[in-house]
Amino acid sequence: MEKRKIEFCLVYRDMWQSSGKYVPRVDQLLEIAPVIIEMGCFSRVETNGGASEQVNLLYGENPNKAVRQWCKPFNDAGIKTQMLERALNGLRMYPVPKDVRRLMFKVKKAQGVDIARSFCGLNDHRNLELSIKYAKEAGMISQAALSITYSDIHTVEYYMGVVDKCVEYGCDEIGLKDMAGVGRPVMLGRLVKAIKDKYPHIKVQYHGHTGPGFSVASMLEVCKNGADIVDVAMEPLSWGMVHPDVITIQAMLKDAGFDVPEINMNAYMHARALTQKFMDDFLGYFINQRNKIMTSLLVGCGLPGGMMGSLMADLRGAQNGINMFLRNAGKKELSEDELMVEMFKEVQYVWPKVGNPPLVTPFSQYVKNIALMNIMQMAQGKPRFSQMDKNTWDMILGKTGQLPGTLAPEIVDLAKQNGYEFYTGVPQDNYPDELPKYIKLMEEQGWDRGQDDEELFEYAMHERQYLDYRSGVAKQKFEVELEEAKKKSNIQIVVKEIKAPEVVRQEVIDRVLAKEPEAKQVVATTNGQVVWELSVNEPSMSKPLGTSYKEGEPVCWINAFYGLEEVPALYSGKLIEVVVPQGQKVQKGDIIAFIK
């Protein structure tokens, strides 16, 4: 009996996006492309899409040149290139007009992208219809991807309802986008079998993140049941919150009797070394160390592993405020681990209340934000769901698609109290065409629309980031951010709470200045909450009052809206008095400590 062939797709872009904040620059991608080709085991490479093109703009690079140059060596080698796009949301986090969506596929095909993997975060086939139509119109292979999650609602029958409509619209392939890796192996196998039994001509590709630990078993099950292609990664970014390594999956499938390609291990080691070089250059500064570790904690909450970095940053930023509220109420404060457990429990509570949206971008962020705000509100004695932003409400009201589940009565009542109306029409109809506006703006600026209108597309898809790129502001911001990240990577931080003084702050300031008129003030650099994290070289020690500081050394941190910002010593001396206690809010320019 002839062995059934399984193909591998390298998700090199997603390896980086799931691990950290940035992806390699085009010069780095061009350096590794021939080595990936030399490995000889990949029939496809995911080259772009999602947030990766915005990242190029944030570098101050042109993403259109990056996509063209990155795709070309694979095109020349006969390896198919594929992109990821978010249907109604295109390549961004909020809805895109119809004419901009249509232009996207035309541009990406011209740039060398062969396959459009399109997913709707709500699995609303109406959002996928235009993606399939426009991809085919542009000459691309259309892969309609199912956003996989786990609940009583998300059954084989539920997903087959979406598959039936996508096949009706003309898709060439079906993808299983198991973005959180929480799909259960047996269920995924049953789903693949149902697809292949009903549509044997349709290729099926499985994409499963490794975070909660199911993905290797899931890959075996989907392959046994008819999957044609599986997405894999390679060291040093495989496993953790990313994807299984191609070496493991190749060995497992070979043993199971499948026809799988051989791996040129010399090329694998070369690609591995190059990836490490990119990390050492600058990308490693933006990779959260937790993203390198798998955790079963994700099984219950269902959040994508790629969110763990931003989630932990959010939790650290909110921890002091939450604990301050708990402290004031005479309740037990929460450690970081305890807060994380509370967060996961709250996500599990919130998720069915807001209609069980698959926890994928951007809806995973919406559910996470609701859960975090609920914890903060409850710490203050306020009710759940008392703070939700416009994007979250758009999801709840049906403006971005039909929710898989049923909204809880309290959510419906809250919408009515706010005077909101529910929307049942086609989501795309809410967002009128905009290309004429951007054409006019480019003409007024004297800007060229670019080869195949690619500059026009980039402007219309990512307006703010594109303007920052054109002005040079983006590159300046990135260089500053990189320098700050390099500095912080060498700082050992230990939290030391300093008790609030019994008197009001101004009295403390007056007393210090009367006693030590030569004392120099340390002022808040931004608005936010003071976090007393003292910089030390010894990881198990913290600096007490009276310890010397060098000029520019971080004295404490402020939890601002965009993350932690350090407050440095303005000159060398000793910390003699702390004016503001941990967790207290300050405004930029407030005195928070004194150094003599």
Domain match, 354 and 237 both: no
- What's the domain range around 163? 7-286
For the cut 70, the answer to whether the pLDDT of residue 536 exceeds it is: no
Q: What is the pTM of this model?
A: 0.79
**489 or 277, which is more confident:** 277
Give exposure, 5-18, as e/b (b: 16+ Cβ within 10 Å): ebbbbbbbbbbbbb
In a domain, 464, yes or no: no
356: left (phi over 0), alpha (psi -120 to 50) or beta: left
Domain match, 245 and 161 both: yes
For the cut 60, the answer to whether the pLDDT of residue 495 exceeds it is: no
Amino acid 502: pLDDT: 43
Structure confidence by residue, pLDDT tens digits, 248-261? 999 999 999 999 99
Structure confidence by residue, pLDDT tens digits, 102-123? 999 999 999 999 999 999 999 9
Among 56-65, 168-177, 225-234, which is the least confidently predicted range?
A: 56-65
CA 564 to the chain's CA centroid: 19
The answer to whether 144 and 173 are in contact (CB under 8 A) is yes
Amino acid 320: pLDDT: 78
Structure confidence by residue, pLDDT tens digits, 377-386? 888 888 899 8
**334 or 239, which is more confident:** 239
Amino acid 561: pLDDT: 46
Structure confidence by residue, pLDDT tens digits, 419-428? 999 999 999 9
Which range of 46-50, 294-298, 482-486 scores highest in mean pLDDT? It is 46-50
The answer to whether 401 and 120 are in contact (CB under 8 A) is yes
Amino acid 504: pLDDT: 59
167 backbone dihedrals φ, ψ, rounded to 5°:
-65, -40
Amino acid 20: pLDDT: 77
Give exposure, 201-211, as e/b (b: 16+ Cβ within 10 Å): ebbbbbbbbbb
In a domain, 452, yes or no: no
In the block, residue with structure tokens 């009052």: 545
Structure confidence by residue, pLDDT tens digits, 551-574? 777 777 776 644 567 788 877 888
In a domain, 246, yes or no: yes
In a domain, 425, yes or no: yes
Domain match, 62 and 208 both: yes
From 286, 314, 333, give the residue that closes a domain: 286
**168 or 337, which is more confident:** 168
pLDDT above 70 as % of the chain: 92
d(CA 148, CA 121) in angstroms, rounded, equals 9
Among 189-198, 272-281, 552-561, which is the least confidently predicted range?
A: 552-561
In a domain, 447, yes or no: no
Domain match, 232 and 135 both: yes
For the cut 70, the answer to whether the pLDDT of residue 35 exceeds it is: yes
In a domain, 515, yes or no: yes
In a domain, 482, yes or no: no
Domain match, 381 and 505 both: no
From 258, 286, 314, give the residue that closes a domain: 286
What's the residue count for the chain? 596
Structure confidence by residue, pLDDT tens digits, 446-487? 999 999 999 999 999 999 899 999 999 899 988 888 888 888
d(CA 208, CA 226) in angstroms, rounded, equals 16
Domain match, 40 and 15 both: yes
d(CA 349, CA 362) in angstroms, rounded, equals 19
Average the pLDDT over 169-192 and give the result: 96
CA 409 to the chain's CA centroid: 31
Domain match, 351 and 421 both: yes
Mean pLDDT score of the chain, rounded to an integer? 88
In a domain, 484, yes or no: no
Task: Give the SS3 label for residue 544.
Answer: coil
Helices (H), 170-214: 185-198
CATH at 507: 2.40.50.100
Identify the helix (H) or strand (E) that includes residue 62. none
Amino acid 307: pLDDT: 65
Amino acid 271: pLDDT: 96
Rg of the chain, C-alpha, whole Å: 26
Domain match, 91 and 133 both: yes
Domain match, 211 and 356 both: no
Our count of domains for the chain comes to: 3
CATH at 207: 3.20.20.70
Domain match, 268 and 210 both: yes
Domain match, 158 and 93 both: yes
Domain match, 279 and 414 both: no
From 286, 314, 347, give the residue that closes a domain: 286
Structure confidence by residue, pLDDT tens digits, 368-418? 889 888 888 888 888 899 878 888 899 999 999 999 999 999 999 999 998
